[in-house]
A and B are shown apart, each in its own frame.
Chain A
Amino acid sequence: EADIYQTPRYLVIGTGKKITLECSQTMGHDKMYWYQQDPGMELHLIHYSYGVNSTEKGDLSSESTVSRIRTEHFPLTLESARPSHTSQYLCACRADRGPETQYFGPGTRLLVL
């Protein structure tokens, strides 16, 4: 059982609001990732981090930002939510060694009205 958590699980919010999606892991993994996934569709990497104070943009351009102040915490922020941000956001982590398994959180399903 992977110890990676995401809150909230579901969020309905109005356009223009600032939101932060939380992701925490208790495994001490250095590498963490954020993916965006529309229902029944592929996963798109939007951000990743290889350790504290390290963040990189992924393959899919995103208006969101991330921070990595602590190893166990990798929050994603949208300064001004729009309907186009409606999606599922999945957080993941893995250890920094070879073919280590990447573990996923349960996801946050975001609906922007």
Chain B
Amino acid sequence: AQSVTQLGSHVSVSEGALVLLRCNYSSSVPPYLFWYVQYPNQGLQLLLKYTSAATLVKGINGFEAEFKKSETSFHLTKPSAHMSDAAEYFCAVRALNTPLVFGKGTRLSVIA
């Protein structure tokens, strides 16, 4: 079975500062890992995904994440936060032929 833990239900950063959203996973088999973003009153949009190719994955809007097997982590980063990055972020894990399992989400606030 797979599970995801997102550390911090709410993260607040200043505009231009580094964004770091933490995600740890548990999986008995090699996982596929995903980060999604959700803006108010909308569905989820894929930011990036790890599929066992490169461990450093680049996504949309300047976000990237690094898969670290030894730490069972898949943290999301962005060098410089923008006001438009304020949203809810979900980490998710899936093994082959199983449904996605989501973390509880992290709300990112960006302060001007």
Chain A residues at the B interface, C-beta cutoff of 8 Å: 6, 33, 40-43, 45, 48, 58, 90, 92, 98-99, 101-107, 109
User: Using an 8 Å CB-CB cutoff, how does the interface string of B3-24 with A read, 1 for contact, 0 for none?
Assistant: 0000000000000000000000
Residue from the list B41, B45, B51 in contact with A104, Cβ < 8 A: B45
Query: Count of chain B residues with Cβ under 8 Å from any Cβ of A?
Result: 23
Question: Which listed residue (B46, B52, B88) contacts A40, Cβ 8 A?
Answer: B88
Instruction: Among B49, B90, B99, B107, find the residue whose CB has the most chain A CB atoms closer than 10 A.
Output: B99
**A41–B104 contact, CB under 8 A?**
yes
Does the CB pair A58–B99 fall under 8 Å? Answer: yes
Known: A40-B107, A92-B44. 11 other contacts (CB 8 A): A33-B99, A41-B105, A43-B90, A58-B99, A98-B32, A98-B51, A98-B96, A101-B34, A102-B100, A104-B45, A107-B41
